[in-house]
Structure 1
Amino acid sequence: MILTNLNAQQLEIVKYSFDDDKYGIAKFANAMRRDSVDAGIENGKYIFQNYHKKGVSKWSLLNYGLNSKANTGYKASITQLAGAQDYSYGLVINAENGSNYIMFGIASNGYYILLYSKSGTTTNISNGWVKSSLVKTGYNAINELYIEKIGNNYQFFLNEVSLKTQSIELSKFSANVGLFANSNMKVGLEQLEIKQWNSQTTIPGKIVRGYTPMTIMPVAAKPMPTISKQNEVYRIELSTFNNRYGIKDKDGYRLVDPVFNLAYLNNGFFIAGDESTNSLGVYDIQGNMIIPPIMKKINMSKDKSAVYFSCRSESGFWGLIDQNGKTVLPFVYNYLDAVSEGLVYMKNAKGWGVVDLTGLPLIAPGSIDDDTDRKKKNFRIPNKVNNGRIIVSASKSDGGKMGVMDIQGNWVIMPKYYSMRYVDTNQSYIVSMPKPTDTKRLLHGVIDKNGSIIIPIKYSSLSPKGKNYIASEGDDPFNDDFTDEAMAAADDDLFDFLEEEEVIQNKMKWGLFSHTGSMILPFNYDDLTTNSEVGILTLKQLNPTTKKMVSFLYDQSNKSMLSLAAYDEYKYDSILFKGKPKNYYSTSYPYFAEGLMNVAKAGKWGFIDKTGKVVIPFQYDHASAFYKNATLVKKNNEWFYINRQGKKIPEPQLIESSSSKELPPIRPGVL
């Protein structure tokens, strides 16, 4: 078999021996109905039988996750089981319909034929039937048919011998692949293998000797080392909402030009490319290709020490690839979630279920349901197995509510909840049910791993913070919990509230529960927000005498409460922020971060710790919250940075370690 680039990274789309139906293919029914067809798995083969009268050729198609522009190899091991031996059967690819397809046919008496149809016009590549000693004759003889697509060139192989190469420009690409057979024939597919690749062997835009670097932007005078001290993605802003991404090394030198519309680094791998052109790929930290850039979407997960990539193809099917570029689960799934405990939540032709990394179903596909099916096309929170259990929705016939199953498919917590969320720190579940008096709203509570109530299901919101739970009573005045229209109108509601505060009042009250369900803070607070440190909460309470909000810092570790009443109430002042550096985005309002909180007293800003001790004196016109051991302050109309000791320091590397208007320089000697 001839490949354009023998070093190209080939991706196995599917390699199926049809020994079982674990990928959702039905079993062969042997219906034997006149003028019909039958297809399915039987005795380790994918069987196709055509019961139509003489002269009627039919096909049975399978659909896989393919990219229309990638080079593709289709290899099928096929055999004839019954029927006339001078009739044709074989492999069909790109089978959009009866007017657009490519066929590679053989006959068991020793002939082959190659042809394609475009918009109903058939072209006979082989100029009719060709007698050939390459064809293995008779029943049960296995012939290997292989079609290799390189661009628009198709090369046909029979039992590893090249027959013909033909340029074919099809009207439309189709991922449909399958068997065809003439009248009253029974044929079998012993194995089907499809691979895809492109001409690349490394990441596009890599700065190497002989490459001409991009000159779309000025080059920075000096490199800016990365914050992580590892290779990182950098961003170049070509215009508003038009960014390109590249890679630089830990010293700030350019490794890869900004050639990507999307790029990010995770667990030592770069996912980069363009979703709109189905060209996402995966590369290692040195820029070597792991997955060729032929994907529509790529989600990464880590299970123990192994990294996996759930990939969605252009044609919509998902597959699972490991960190070495090896296909773990073929591209036959309607959806594949993250890997957890060696298992994957998935959907195939039979429905939703859970499989292991061999594709073996543990929770049978179709035995559960998923009402959020439409959301799977985009990012969502992965549904993971935790301690051998997984949150799933019952089938519609079983009520469609959510519960918890073990990996044998048995209900551990019966499906009776509208929503469920696993809390890893406590091995418990936050659950919700519709409010009896207002079915547009949900009430939330906490249950343990056996379904027993820890916190009653009666609170309007509930979320974990450390080992504790933040909860609220009273309805959200801006939104309900169910309707899409309400979600879409949330921003409008907020603006209306700000303009007409006297009309709409937020009557929600906030409190705090322990992981055992005991109350730590009663529902006396008008607001409760989190900070960058898990153990610290900011509370607000209306003073009934002054009618002003008083803030508090609450330390969950020792249950201490610090009143912030002695400090100024924060109000945004656009004049105050005049001249502030535009590339600094840390929190400007009072916020506890990195052990300190920025607060103002008598118009001057400083920093206190969680006990109220003044750590940096009140001397600034403004001070932002700390971020990565530095913060921006203003004093006497000058903006500058200080460290945690209050000492003035040079501008740190904070949000971006280089300008988005300059290209990182190239390391001397590379070119």
Structure 2
Amino acid sequence: MAVNDWKAYLCPVRNLIFLWAWIISISAAAGDYQLFEEHGKVGLKDASGAVVLPASFDALGWSDGHFSLIGQITGYRQHNRWGLINLKKELITPAIYESMTSPGGDRVIVSKAVNPYINKFGCIDLQGKVTVPFVYDGIRFYGLRAVVMVKEGTQYNYGLTDLNDKTILPTRYANIEPIGSLRYAVRNFENKIALCSETGAWVTGFTIDRIDAFQSDLAVIHEDWKQGAINRNGELVIPAIYRELSIVDAKTVRVRKADQWALRNAAFEVVKHVEADQLEFAANGWARITLDGRVGMVDDSLNWRWPLSFDEIGTIQNNMAVVRHQGKYGLQRLNHTSVLPTRYDSLVVEGRFVRVKEKFEGKQVWNLYDTVGTRRNPKSYDMIGPFNGSFFPVKHNRHWGAIDYRGREIIACVYDSLLQHYSPWVLVKFRNQYGIITEDDQWGIHPQSHTLQLVNASYLLECKDTQQILKTFDGSIIYFTENPVTIFPDFLREKLPNGKEKDVTFSGLPVPAPPTLPPPKTQTASFRESEGFIGVKRDGKFGFVDRRGRLRIANRYDSIGEFHHGMAPVQLLGKWGFINTADQIVVQPNFEQVDDFMDGTTRVAVRGKWGIVNSTGQVLLPLRYDSLHRLPTGHWLVAENNRFGLADHRGNILIEPRFEQLQVMSDHAVRVEQHGKFGVISHDGLSIVPIQYDAFEFQRGRQLYLTLEKTSWNILELK
């Protein structure tokens, strides 16, 4: 830094140190004085009780309610206006200001009526001289700088000046806040922040989204989803390249980069990668990608389709998705064009129609759109309910009606409520009475005091006094009772006084009871045919017959299964074995559970432990495993103590059960999980892909791998 630059830097710092020392001294002096009141007026006494200012003022101090002295000067109020006075009882200014506050230092912020309706703010010095003209709608002091505000319409524009109204930054920003004593955070109307010096020199561009509170003289800055850090001087200490940053102390921070999702080819080389907190694939192959609470979309090759513009993206249906941004909902096509903009408080897609709620002229209203974005209803409603197959129930001015899918009001909004719909009838409540109308708003049954209920399109139930009356719509009575009834699709169920139930058809006749058939003397159970044999049960024992019903294997077994590959499981004395088609026992009944044979092997269990035997009963895999499952590849997935391994189709162990997950990917590769990490090993247990990934998916159709590597925290020591 050049000598002249150091002088320019040190000069305002010396002034600031002197100013703060002076403020501390005068604040202490204010404690030597005490306000007192006489006859509704306020005065000032010194520490000895001597009157310094007589009790002739409405208030002393400042318009924000507190009292202090700037040297020998304070504010006073008379006739609802403020002015400056010293302790020599000399009025420095007349009482002409609407408000007067002391930000510290030798300036006072005052407001003045520039017309009968508008007050403007400015500054005066301790001699009453105007140093900042009355052109602002707000002023905040920070050391030797003032943040000033100008209102245009409903929007405030912020700028930065010195204490003599020399412009440092023009009034065209959304906000300005100090960062320490030498830097300011300036926010533009695109909601981005830049840092500038007290001379107005830009330290950064408008790339910062948020600045956290200072901790140990450091503050985390956020740029998009990345984080860095600045010091109290607004200097960039750590560039914004990290997903997360945690301040330990003034010299130490913890940092973590973003998690990495990657597509890899058959050689496991990275084809494409993205940084994401979360990746959720949809049915169309695209994925919702989440970073720092914002959501976008990538395709199945991890190419960006939607930027990180939304807080939420719903399920993709018909090449569209409901989106949410800053609490508002919209509807987007997959090509990232808008069907409906994100301005609605509620949005519901139902087939080809969209019901939306928004605020209009201070009132919440509902409208109906189609999925092309065309509004269907000419007028808005207080409520639009779900489509019931015939119409949308709507509410307007506290009364209910209905619109069709074109948005036409087919039932006028004159009803207390729409209670029930059974096309073509609608049960309504009208002026606290019950009636039935058609879907084109014609009375079928005029309003009456008795409760009505639609049974179906042909019948209704009327509750008249204590009677339940089943009627047709032309008024014909079918059935009546004083007992409670429940409506079922094809009948009424009446609760009798003795507690029994009686079912009545809609013709008014009792529902006939089903006929009771006497049990056969000999019960026979039969099974489906398998390899020409059909299992049968006679007199409690099982055997087999052929297609013509001829007995092939006598009924002498406690239970049986189907024939597969010429063998069927049979149970004798509570144990299972296998017989062949000649009724010869080929596997002795020694097992508590068995499965069907396939490729010459099956699984068997004793006391909950599983193994594998061949067609002669030879044990190929010992009965020691908690579970065994034959995979489509012919391999066996073996489990022991919640760990998985792999055996070949003959029961030879290829991979000992030591993994939390195991999936056969090909004839030579197996996807495994160990200690929460994924990788690929060969059928011989040799490493193909290191077990280091936090997620791992093989896309067989494209011969690609999708991997996730979560990053860990690291320590950065600052110089």
Normalised by the size of structure 2, how large is the TM-score?
Answer: 0.29
Normalised by the size of structure 1, how large is the TM-score?
Answer: 0.31
Larger RCO of the pair (alpha carbons < 8 Å, separation 6+): 1
Q: Which structure has the larger Rg?
A: 2
More strand by proportion, 1 or 2?
2
